[in-house]
Amino acid sequence: MPSYDIVGDIAVVKFDKEKKSEKIKFARELLQRPNVKVVVEKADRIKGRLRTAEMNHIAGEKRKDTLYKENGCSFRLNVQTCYFSSRLSEERKKIAEKINKNDRVLVMFAGVAPFSIIIAKFSGCKEVVSVEISKACSKYALENVRINKLDNVRVIQGDVKKKLAGLGTFTKIVMARPNLKETFLKYALDASGKGTIIYYYGFAHVDDKDKMVEKLKKEAYELGRKIRINEVVRAGDIAPYKFRWRVEIKVV
Ligand SMILES: C[S@@+](CC[C@H](N)C(=O)[O-])C[C@H]1O[C@@H](n2cnc3c(N)ncnc32)[C@H](O)[C@@H]1O
């Protein structure tokens, strides 16, 4: 059976080698569910800096934008132009639980702002700065801040390499990184002071987990910064034996 995710009222299906008629039959079955109004096919892999994939309409209403609800918050997004994973909902909640009222939080690679908004809403923290390079995602991020009625989230559209200067330091930094080679750790360290906690997301085969952590330690050392690794936990599956890891880094 094809695998699928439901985002709002859109079913995003990953077919294997099904014929067109089989795809339509499967899509029509999904449309029987009261919560599904659109079925799209994820036609290729998530790729590039923006982490988007081609989505082809298969059945139902002809649109790719939706309203998705999670952790008591609402998010508008377009499944074609914005990276979004409903599978990260538990992870977002776990991170929000680690933030307290006095924190000043930076969310790098913020997308349509799910981490930023859930953190801001549940912690009631002073400020969340949400940085995302995609114009499409940032437009939705602004709308999402408004529909969730928050006044403690600031959305910045642009490259984390250029947009962090002048923002000062943060007590907590969430690096919801794209699965790319570059670690971007330097930019998080530039926005860190003594005691800052960085939640770094890395992608590695279970056998390469230690190598991934050693690379972070080496990078920090070469930048003249001292870090301590508090914990490394699994935060999602990517492929057989390959996981998304959350590395909790303390800047000391
Ligand atoms: C894995 S997605 C995470 C999205 C979001 N945090 C979420 O949970 O839905 C990574 C995001 O990083 C953005 N991105 C990639 N390179 C960036 C950069 N240099 N500066 C800012 N954002 C970037 C992409 O556009 C994408 O939306």
What would the pLDDT profile of 131-166 be if each residue is shown by its tens digit? 999 999 999 999 999 999 999 999 999 999 999 999
Q: Using an 8 Å Cβ cutoff, are 251 and 241 in contact?
A: no
C-alpha 82 chain-centroid distance: 10
State how far the alpha carbon of 73 is from the alpha carbons of 21, 208, 237, in Å. Answer: 37, 35, 24
Q: Is 75 helix (H, G, I), strand (E, B) or coil?
A: strand
Asked whether the predicted pLDDT for residue 10 surpasses 90, the reply is: yes
DSSP code string of 144-183: HHHHTT-SSEEEEES-HHHH-TTS--EEEEEE---SSS--
Neighbours of 226 (CB within 10 A): 11
CA of 1 to the centre of ligand 1 (A): 30
Q: Is the CB of 84 under 6 A from ligand 1?
A: yes
pLDDT tens digits for range 199-240: 999 999 999 999 999 999 999 999 999 999 999 999 999 889
Q: Is the CB of 49 under 6 A from ligand 1?
A: yes
Q: How far apart are CA 10 and CA 199, in angstroms?
A: 30
